[in-house]
């Protein structure tokens, strides 16, 4: 039985929530391993729509253990607001089905303040963050001044952590023209929420290793997308964590040998939220049509997503870096009705051909996509649950994507509905 890692293979918003939810029926444990509440996962279960930002998607399934790993940065107030929202929708959440790694770093109000202050000061050089404090929280983690979940259990430790943290942030705020942090107010907020948060704290690395030895299936849930990776994304227009599959190991406390199958989630076209390069972006009627049909608005921010044709160059690149064994191709139905479809198969930069996206920002800004055209289909693929339900042209499109990205399709999603999924290869059985 393979443990499965799910990662987005584009710029996020690929439909990971639905796929993780669908796979979680086969799993015993579902673990988030990076990111924060800047992630947005939408699940459609019957007539109910669940919008998750921080909680693992498996939380909506009874009998599953949902885990927030140490690779995540956690806003405790956002967490409990999300728990309250799901509880009101009938989801039962307790220490029996939710666990938080005790070494998880916290996002505090001061992180959100700094995020917004920096974006305002940057002007046209802003990178388009969600303003939720994710980046500053990760900075404090690597700067060894963060407050972690376990620190809330001891007043002396908490005060020591605050000394180091505020010495740094007050200096930054002064430089940005902001007032010093009200330490008493922050301390009071932390002490108020500490008992609620500590109730969920566990040595996640130990629990997951024991689960693995017991033969339980673990599903690792990534957030954002590979092209937003801090190392391999379109820097600096990236997130502040590692979004590649390798983070599943360090972000939960399991070794790399625990990863059996890497599933890359790939949209049948391409979207991006915020600033940064986008080689296949469409600003014409086709781009507008993709956005309208795909309901391309951010789950967390509500921002309109930029849309474009499928970029096989980028997906081939991200599949290689994450060691993807198979992809889940989503939103195929959005392409229904197009007379002609285009797939980006290469780039031209100053007259030179590239089969990958160069790292240099100056080169990325000059990319001209090289397209291959394919015949579209007029029939509907929405709700298809077998290959036999798909038009021949749609199957041809899928097969051509497989060839270009050097990776097979393991699952095919044809609507947001949980069961509108064609299973080609079960990642847990691979």
C-alpha–C-alpha distance, residues 22 and 342, integer Å: 29
CB atoms within 10 A of CB 17: 26
Residues 13, 75, 140, 151: which is the catalytic one?
13
Instruction: Give the orientation angle of helix 183-198 with respect to helix 155-175, to 10 degrees.
Output: 130
Any residues with CB less than 8 A from the CB of 163 and at least 6 apart, and which?
none
HEC per residue, 96-145: CCEEEECCCEECCHHHHHHHHHHHHHHHHHCCCCCCCCHHHHHHHHHCCC
CA angle 213, 216, 217 (to 5 degrees): 125
Whether 43 and 299 have beta carbons less than 8 Å apart is answered as no
Nearest CA-CA partner of 147 in 254, 289, 119, 155: 155
Does residue 41 have an active-site annotation?
Answer: yes
Exposed e or buried b per residue across 108-131, where buried means at least 16 C-beta atoms within 10 angstroms of its C-beta: bebbbbbbbbbbeeeeeeebebbb
Rounded distance, CA 204 to CA 32, Å? 11
Contact (Cβ atoms closer than 8 angstroms) between residue 271 and residue 307: yes
**In which element (H, E) is residue 11 found?**
none
Q: Which of 21, 28, 37, 41 is catalytic?
A: 41
**CA angle, residues 252, 256, 258, in degrees to nearest 5:** 80
The secondary structure of residue 384, as a DSSP letter, is -
Annotated catalytic residues are 13, 41
């Amino acid at each position: 039985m393979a443990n499965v890692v799910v990662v987005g293979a584009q710029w996020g918003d690929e439909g990971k929530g639905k796929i993780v939810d669908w796979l979680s029926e086969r799993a015993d444990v579902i673990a988030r391993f990076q990111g924060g509440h800047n992630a947005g996962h939408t699940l459609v279960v019957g007539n109910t729509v669940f919008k998750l930002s921080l909680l693992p998607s498996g939380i909506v399934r009874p009998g599953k253990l949902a885990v927030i790993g140490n690779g995540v940065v956690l806003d405790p107030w956002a967490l409990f607001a999300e728990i309250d929202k799901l509880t009101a929708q009938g989801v039962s959440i307790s220490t029996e089905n939710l666990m938080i790694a005790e070494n998880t770093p916290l996002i505090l109000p001061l992180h959100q303040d700094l995020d917004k202050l920096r974006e305002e000061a940057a002007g046209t050089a802003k990178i388009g963050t969600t303003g939720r404090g994710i980046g500053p929280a990760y900075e404090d983690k690597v700067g060894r001044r963060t407050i972690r979940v376990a620190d809330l259990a001891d007043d002396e430790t908490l005060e020591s952590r605050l000394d180091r943290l505020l010495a740094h942030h007050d200096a930054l705020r002064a430089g940005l023209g902001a007032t010093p942090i009200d330490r008493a107010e922050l301390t009071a907020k932390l002490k108020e929420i500490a008992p609620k948060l500590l109730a969920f704290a566990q040595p996640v690395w130990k629990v997951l290793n024991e689960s693995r030895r017991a033969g339980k299936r673990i599903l690792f849930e990534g957030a954002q997308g590979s092209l937003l990776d801090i190392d391999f994304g379109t820097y600096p227009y990236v997130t502040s964590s590692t979004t590649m599959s390798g983070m599943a190991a360090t972000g939960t406390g399991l070794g790399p040998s625990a990863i059996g199958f890497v599933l890359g989630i790939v949209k049948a076209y391409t979207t991006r939220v915020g600033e940064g390069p986008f080689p296949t972006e469409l600003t014409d009627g086709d781009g507008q049509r993709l956005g309208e049909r795909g309901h391309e608005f951010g789950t967390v921010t509500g921002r309109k997503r930029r849309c474009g044709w499928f970029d096989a160059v980028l997906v081939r690149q991200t599949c290689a870096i994450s060691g993807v064994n198979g992809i889940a191709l989503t939103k195929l139905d959005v392409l229904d009705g197009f007379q002609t479809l285009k797939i980006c198969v290469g780039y031209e930069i100053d007259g030179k051909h590239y089969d990958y996206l160069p790292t240099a920002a100056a080169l990325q800004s000059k990319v001209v996509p090289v397209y291959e055209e394919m015949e579209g289909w007029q029939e509907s693929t929405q709700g298809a649950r077998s290959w036999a339900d798909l038009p021949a042209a749609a199957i041809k499109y899928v097969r051509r994507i497989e060839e270009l990205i050097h990776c097979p399709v393991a699952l095919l999603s044809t609507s947001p509905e949980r069961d509108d999924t064609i299973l080609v290869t079960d990642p847990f059985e691979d």
